[in-house]
Amino acid sequence: MTVREGSLEAPTRHALDWQAPDFYDAEKVFAELQRVFGICHGCRRCVSLCTAFPRLFDLIDEGKTGELDGVDRASFQEVVDRCYLCDVCYMTKCPYVPPHQWNVDFPHLMLRAKAVKFKQGGTSLRDKLLSSTDALGRLATIPVVVRFVNAANRAPVARAVMGKVLGVHKDRVLPAYAGAKFRSTAQPDASFTVRDGKNTPGKVAIFSTCYVNYNEPGIGHDLLKILAHNEIPAVIVGKEACCGMPKLELGDLEAVARLKEINVPRLAKLARDGYAIMSAIPSCTLMFKQELLLMFPQDADVNAVQEAMFDPFEYLVLRNKDALLKIDFKRPLGKVSYHIPCHSRVQNVGQKTRELLQLVPGTEINTVERCSGHDGTWGVKSEFFEQSMKIGRPVFKQMAATDPDYISSDCPIAGRHIQQGMGETRAQKEHPLTLIRIAYGL
């Protein structure tokens, strides 16, 4: 029987059988790594995406036999640690993903290997700490503490110590913590009349996210202003915890399950009450749209949340199709270099942010669709900082090519990483929601 080369069918994702004992069986994981790495070695189509694939191929090419059997088993972890689960290989490059019979899901195999490492106690304290974004945010934004933390993040001496103790690279520009959290200062307006559209619910519940709540509350406030300008009633989710994406990327799936038990019941009630649920961070949106559903495919609440979850620009563009969005933009934006983050791309909703920005008169969009190389916490780590900058160089160059007035990304972490990589530039860094708020003249 001949084996079909590649696939012309849309990728499909299998549920994660993460609660089965075999999921954490190190020997079975190693066998699957061997199988998939062998397929990757024979293809090499993903070599330009990140450093996980080049490292795999270097290990093979520099090994004793020039084949996978010449690679030391312990070296497989070097490949696993370089994968930050962007999903781009699965969604855009690999011809052997399901429904192809070879059933290659590289990101979720890396996730399984990370979960085994975590289960065996191989995860560092640094990585556990960095992935605890909610706890870090609560501590860092204490009024007396926040000024000290922000000053330390900028001080060379403190950063050198941080590098030695925590393994955070001294040259990585870190986000400041806000003096006033989004959730404690947000003033959503729920007084407008609900106008449901063919494609959109007429009221919105905002899931704040750790980053917006603790680091850049202005993104959340701008979203509220845009919704109010369009007379869309909005509320803030009553209580929330981290979406779980940082813990997922760490392989701590039990922590993901605990966070799901906090978030999903409240979100499911809002979904069933007819709200569109929205988060301004693509990774958080993707967590509820895809990853939790793959972990809990039979959970009715998880399914309800998934169906109600929207990226903000996905919602706004659909609102425009419903003839319920105001396009009374008052200010041109000039030249905007816009970066599409990986976790926006894999939501499969198209380039909705670009679509809305192009409706602003006097605006020229330079769209860059390539991984910036930062990921959540991966790019701040000492051992991966240089790699993250190397992956991002083509993006930095493309973003600077038009001498833009603004540089922007739906992922604010990627936006900051791009700004650092571009170096000296006249361009202002603004989130796309902020650009729309500016365009409205709000």
Mind spelling out the 3-state secondary structure of the chain?
Answer: CCCCCCCCCCCCCCCCCCCCHHHHCHHHHHHHHHHHHHHHHHHCCCCCCCCHHHHHHHHHHCCCCCCHHHCCHHHHHHHHHHCCCCCHHHHHHCCCCCCCCCCCCHHHHHHHHHHHHHHCCCCCHHHHHHCCHHHHHHHHCCHHHHHHHHHHHHCHHHHHHHHHHHCECCCCCCCCCCCCCHHHHCCCCCCCCCCCCCCCCCCEEECCCHHHHHCCHHHHHHHHHHHHHCCCCEEECCCCCCCCHHHHHHCCHHHHHHHHHHHHHHHHHHHHCCCEEECCCHHHHHHHHHHHHHHCCCCHHHHHHHHHEECHHHHHHHHHHCCCCCCCCCCCCEEEEEECCHHHHCCCCCCHHHHHHCCCCCEEEEEECCCCCCCCCHHHECCCHHHHHHHHHHHHHHHHCCCCCEEEECCHHHHHHHHHHHCCCCCEECCHHHHHHHHHCC
- Residue 19: its pLDDT value, please? 93
Structural tokens at position 375: 């990921």
- Residue 162: its pLDDT value, please? 84
pTM for the whole structure: 0.92
Structural tokens at position 149: 């933390």
Cβ neighbours of 383 (radius 10 Å):
11
- Residue among 334, 329, 311, 314 nearest 408 (CA): 334
Any bridge partners for residue 429, and if so which?
Answer: 407
Cβ–Cβ < 8 Å for 142, 177: no
- Residue 181: its pLDDT value, please? 93
- Residue 73: its pLDDT value, please? 87
Phi, psi of 142 (to 5 degrees): -60, 130
What's the average pLDDT block by block, 10 residues per block, for the chain (442 residues)?
Answer: 59 89 93 92 88 89 88 90 87 88 92 93 86 84 84 87 86 90 95 96 96 94 98 95 92 95 96 97 94 95 97 97 96 96 86 96 95 84 89 94 96 93 94 97 95
Cβ–Cβ < 8 Å for 412, 420: no
List of residues 6+ apart from 184 with CB closer than 8 A: none
Q: Where in the chain is the domain with CATH 3.40.50?
A: 327-440
- Residue among 98, 112, 106, 111 nearest 45 (CA): 106
Whole-angstrom CA distances from 336 to 154, 252, 353, 366, 406 are 28, 38, 12, 6, 5
Cβ–Cβ < 8 Å for 253, 295: yes
List of residues 6+ apart from 117 with CB closer than 8 A: 77, 80, 123, 251
- Residue 1: its pLDDT value, please? 41
- Residue 340: its pLDDT value, please? 94
Burial 115-139 (b: 16+ CB within 10 A, else e): bbbbbeeebeeebeebbbbbebbee
For residues 46 and 53, what is the distance between their CA atoms, to the nearest angstrom? Answer: 7
- Residue 267: its pLDDT value, please? 97
Structural tokens at position 340: 């599409």
Q: What CATH number labels 327-440?
A: 3.40.50
Structural tokens at position 70: 């010449």
Cβ–Cβ < 8 Å for 82, 387: yes
- Based on its alpha-carbon atoms, the radius of gyration of the chain, rounded to whole angstroms, reads 22
Cα 72 → chain centroid: 32
The answer to whether the Cα torsion of 321, 322, 328, 331 is positive or negative is: negative
